[in-house]
Structure 1
Amino acid sequence: MSGALAKLLCLGLLVLAPACQQLPAPAVTPPPAAVTATPASGYAAVAPVVSPESRYVFGWGEIPAAVAKPRGGSTQGTAVTLAPAQPLPLASIAAAGDAFNRDRAAILALAGDYRTSFHFMESLGLTTDYHPARSYHSWATEHIRVITDTGRFISLQHTLVMFFSNPNGSASAPMLTKHWRQDWTYEDPDLHTFRGDATWARRRPSPAEASGAWSQAVFQVDDSPRYEALGRWEHAGNLSVWTSERAWRPLPRREHSVRKDYDVMEGAHRIVLTPTGWLHEQNNWKRVAGESVSTPRYVAAEIGLDRYERITAPSLAAADEYWKKTGAYWALVRRVWTEEFARRERFTLQPKFQDKALFEHHFAYAEKLAEGQPFDAADAERHTRATLTGFLGGPPAR
């Protein structure tokens, strides 16, 4: 495994990685316009310490200092320059002639270069032995590009392009890797939803459910499915917000290796456009068992705030070169997955095939292309089909 990939595993941004220590945010250069300055750390100041043993945490009050300190990564990022704030509604939304095109403009506005911060905190417990868990905090610099736009379908690909501070104060070369993907489909008649136990199954919403709605399907770094939910955009004055239905997700990467007391993340989420980018807000329930259990049991609730703030520096253009070299391969992976979705009413993903996780198979192949190996479409297709068939336990039953 490369040093860059190992670092991203430690950050908890890629796969089911162990938690690391708290991750300091990159320093911030505010935009030139009259925008409120961000603290040097990039985040709100911590409340004054009442005693060496406790800290104030919003919503909890005084809790032990060891619990109040968030978990996350341990790497220092280089400075970023925030883009000037834009008035809302965005010009592209204001100019749209109808609700459908306002929705499209809002989805397309999610693309760009961002400093991203991830914040998660449990807000309550539902068991007699519950104690507040440590919150989670991490960061990234991330490029989001439109890879497909057919009108009623828009696909947005996230790519991490991260710069780290070396011990001598210099900046590292960009560390780049493919990240998650979000697909938006208007009036989607065919969803693939998580059912627990590494299993996904087809869900066909009624015409009334799908009318005017957009599904958001989220995929892992290896293009395997994560979750999918229907939701609706609302545009009112300077507010543009998409609100999802309540849906299931696998344990998030930040939780998988440190929590064994629940199996399913069940919740709703919102995406809100802001003058400086957008916010992904989550309200999650941590559920013990999946659909095989008639009476659910929940251990806790959690709130999450993922902030995407537009930046003008550093340049994240390294993503362009990566996609020039690897884009054809990842397009093939997406096509094969689309075919598998069409063929399978239900499927379970195996954790390993040939002693490797799915992302390891795909990342190793893509890395050869990124290093300059020519793309061989026939070889790539053989590799992709054999790999996915192995993880899906063979072809579907007839």
Structure 2
Amino acid sequence: MKQIVLSAFLALVFLSSVVAQSKKKQDQAAIKDMCGCYEVTFNFAETFEYSEDSTYIPSKVKHDKGLEWVQLVEDSKDKISMQHLLIVGSKDNPYIVKHWRQDWEYQNTDLYEYNHDNNWTYVSLPKDKVKGQWSQKVFQVDDSPRYEGSASWVHVDGKSYWEDETSAPLPRREYTKRSDYNVTVRRNRHEITNYGWLHEQDNDKVVRKDGKTDVVLAQEKGYNTYMKVDNSRCKAAQDYWKENQAKWAIVRAKWDEVFARNKDLSLEEKVDNKVLFKYLFDKENYKTAEEINPLIESFVKQ
């Protein structure tokens, strides 16, 4: 009898493992479906305001569009990394803007959660809490951290999507114009669609101070569509990456070393009155580890 029970248990364990591996392959396929060449629309609108200030002015509705190449940078057993590259300017004279990066890690227990004012809190999660999940780590244009969260990919009724809620710094479209809040609480949804993929957001604009309860100033809706087009339209971005990928590999490696310290992280906004991306976007300098590593370290508060 004991042998029968043991055999049944082992068969159940084996079946669970097979199902988990099949689900993981579905997840990986969905994530990599976000790679390629896309016509992108960026749409944001403030939906509700809660400010008690009668002079409060909501953010203007934003509609923008562009052509973007999503480059697969790493595809390993438990990690998929993708670099977004915007193509701007004319067709005959395109200019490439290194945009955001997203890394997906399977059952990742080490996260950096954004607190506020350029501070991230290191969080070590128990393994059972992230079982079967993928963390999405989003990085700034200079590969410094932005935000991350962990959740499960869902495949049901012909849909594949991932959604999570996490805190983040203000987006570029806001922080150059707004100083009345300092944190965006983002509810992100990535969904694979028949035209490409959708990045949907429901965000809170939050005032956060140490020792005090968050104050929600307003809420906004984000609806960004990625319409897949022929890869040949993004050749300029592909060429840029071939020419510059070695440099950005050095930058990522240095940041990985910083993150591996597994402790709270605070970053300087500027060093010598200059932000990090302006150093790294210099085409003539900061190409080697000897130049890049001390530069990034100078932005890390000790």
Question: TM over 0.5: same fold?
Answer: yes
1:145 deviates by 1.1
Q: How does 1:190-339 map to 2 (within 5 A)?
A: 190-244=110-164, 246-290=165-209, 292-312=210-230, 315-339=233-257
1:121 deviates by 0.8
1:177 deviates by 2.2
1:269 deviates by 1.0
Is contact 1:268-1:283 (8 Å) kept?
yes
Distance 1:223 1:335 in 2: 10
Distance 1:262 1:172 in 2: 41
Q: How does 1:18-97 map to 2 (within 5 A)?
A: none
Distance 1:237 1:126 in 2: 37
* 1:72-109 deviation per Cα after TM superposition (whole angstroms, max 9, x unaligned): xxxxxxxxxxxxxxxxxxxxxxxx97111000000000
Distance 2:98 2:154 in 1: 31
1:283 deviates by 0.9
Partner of 2:13: none
Runs of 4+ in structure 1 off by over 4 angstroms are none
* 1:102-123 deviation per Cα after TM superposition (whole angstroms, max 9, x unaligned): 0000000000000111111111
Distance 1:250 1:133 in 2: 16
Is contact 1:247-1:268 (8 Å) kept?
yes
Amino acid at match of 1:336: K
- For the aligned residue pairs, the C-alpha RMSD in angstroms reads 1.9
Is contact 2:69-2:238 (8 Å) kept?
no
Is contact 1:279-1:307 (8 Å) kept?
yes
Is contact 1:125-1:131 (8 Å) kept?
no
1:226 deviates by 0.5
Distance 2:57 2:271 in 1: 38
Whichever structure has more helix as a proportion of its residues is 2
Q: How does 1:3-22 map to 2 (within 5 A)?
A: none
1:271 deviates by 0.5
Partner of 2:76: 150
Distance 1:136 1:253 in 2: 12
Q: 2:265 aligns with which of 316, 329, 347?
A: 347
Partner of 1:359: 277
Amino acid at match of 2:299: F
Amino acid at match of 1:119: N
1:191 deviates by 0.7
Count of matched residue positions in the alignment of Structure 1 and Structure 2: 281
Distance 1:109 1:307 in 2: 14
Relative to the length of structure 2, the TM-score reads: 0.88
1:298 deviates by 1.0
Question: Equivalent residue of 1:180, what SS?
Answer: strand
Partner of 1:137: 63
* 1:283-340 deviation per Cα after TM superposition (whole angstroms, max 9, x unaligned): 11111114x1331111111110111111127721112222222111100110110001
Amino acid at match of 2:201: Q
Is the counterpart of residue 387 in structure 1 residue 268 in structure 2? Answer: no
Q: Cα gap change, 1:260/1:241 in structure 2, threshold over 3 Å: closer, same or farther? A: same
Q: 129-138 or 155-164, which moves further after superposition?
A: 129-138
Partner of 2:11: none
Partner of 2:15: none
Q: Cα gap change, 1:183/1:150 in structure 2, threshold over 3 Å: closer, same or farther? A: same
Partner of 2:9: none
* 1:233-290 deviation per Cα after TM superposition (whole angstroms, max 9, x unaligned): 110131111111x210001000001111111001211001111110001111111114
Q: Any gaps of 5 or more consecutive residues in structure 1?
A: 1-95, 165-170, 370-375
Q: 1:161 aligns with which of 84, 87, 91?
A: 87
Amino acid at match of 1:276: Y
Relative to the length of structure 1, the TM-score reads: 0.67
Distance 1:101 1:313 in 2: 24
Distance 2:122 2:59 in 1: 34
* 1:28-50 deviation per Cα after TM superposition (whole angstroms, max 9, x unaligned): xxxxxxxxxxxxxxxxxxxxxxx
Distance 1:380 1:280 in 2: 35
1:162 deviates by 2.5
Distance 2:135 2:118 in 1: 21
Distance 1:321 1:172 in 2: 14
Amino acid at match of 2:24: F
Distance 1:389 1:97 in 2: 39
Whichever structure has more strand as a proportion of its residues is 2
1:352 deviates by 1.2
Distance 2:270 2:117 in 1: 15
Q: Any gaps of 5 or more consecutive residues in structure 2?
A: 1-19
Q: Cα gap change, 1:275/1:126 in structure 2, threshold over 3 Å: closer, same or farther? A: same
Distance 2:57 2:290 in 1: 50
Distance 1:309 1:251 in 2: 26
Q: 1:173 aligns with which of 93, 97, 109?
A: 93
Identity level (%): 36
* 1:144-168 deviation per Cα after TM superposition (whole angstroms, max 9, x unaligned): 011101121000011112243xxxx
Question: Equivalent residue of 1:216, what SS?
Answer: strand
